[in-house]
Copies of this chain bind each other. A is one copy, B any other.
Amino acid sequence: MINKGSLYVVSAPSGCGKGTILSEILKRNKNLFYSVSATTRQPREGEIDGVDYYFLSPEEFKTEIDNEGMLEYAQFCGNYYGTPKKKVIEKLEQGIDVVLEIETKGAMKIKKALRDAILIFILPPSVSELRRRLIKRGTEKQAVIDNRIKEAAEEINRARNYDYIMINDELDKAIEDFDAILKASKLTSRNNIKMIEEVLKNA
C-alpha cells in the first residue's frame, strides 16, 4: 500500500519571487504535480488555458461551485478564482505530491478542508525591499503600489498560521530552503507510521 501524497500550499505577497522559486522547484522535483487554478477573468496576452489558469465562463464556474468542484474559491474585482478539487484529490490518492499557489484566505480554507496540507509562506526580506521591487518593475502606479504594500502586510500577518515561513532574500538559499521543507515534511512521524510496521516485519 502506498502513502497518500502531500499537499503543499504556497503563499507569498506579489513581488516575493514565488513564481521563480516554484518553477525551479518543479524542475527539480519531476514528480511534484502543480495544481492550476481556475478563473473567470479574461486571459491576458500569452496566457494559455490549462497552463496559467483554467479559463471558465461565470456559468461554468458557478456550476463547479454548485457541484462542490472547488476546494476553495473567492471573488476579486468581480472575477472568480478557485482551486479545482478533482485533480488535486486524484493525485493525492495516487500518492503524488501536489503544490498549489494561493492567497492566504484561500490557504486557510484548504487547511480546514484538508488538515494534512502543509502551508508554506514566502516572505520578502522586508516590506521596504518589496516596495523597491514593485517600483523597479515600473508597471504600476504609485497608488497601486501603495495598495499592494497594504495587502502584502495583511498577508504577511497571516503567515503565523502557516506551517513554514521562509524568506526569499537570496534565490539559491530560498530554493534550498523550499527543498528542505519538501524533504523533511515527508519524514514526519505522522507520515511514517507504516514505515515502522514495515521495519518491524520478521522481528
Contacts and interface: CB of A to CB of B under 8 A. Distances in A.
Report how many copies the assembly holds: 2
Contacts of A201: 126-127
Contacts of A181: 184, 187
Given A126-B202, A160-B189, A180-B183, A196 B153 contact: no
A164 B183 contact: no
Given A161-B189, A181-B187, A196 B156 contact: yes
A123 B199 contact: yes
Place the interface of chain A in its size category: 35 or more
Interface centre among A124, A160, A187, A202 (most CB of B within 10 A): A187
A199 B127 contact: yes
Interface in A165-199: 165-167, 176-177, 179-181, 183-185, 187-189, 192-193, 195-196, 198-199
25 contacts: A123-B199, A124-B199, A126-B202, A127-B200, A127-B202, A127-B203, A149-B203, A153-B200, A156-B196, A156-B199, A156-B200, A157-B200, A159-B189, A161-B189, A163-B189, A164-B184, A164-B187, A164-B189, A165-B189, A165-B192, A166-B187, A177-B183, A181-B187, A183-B184, A184-B184
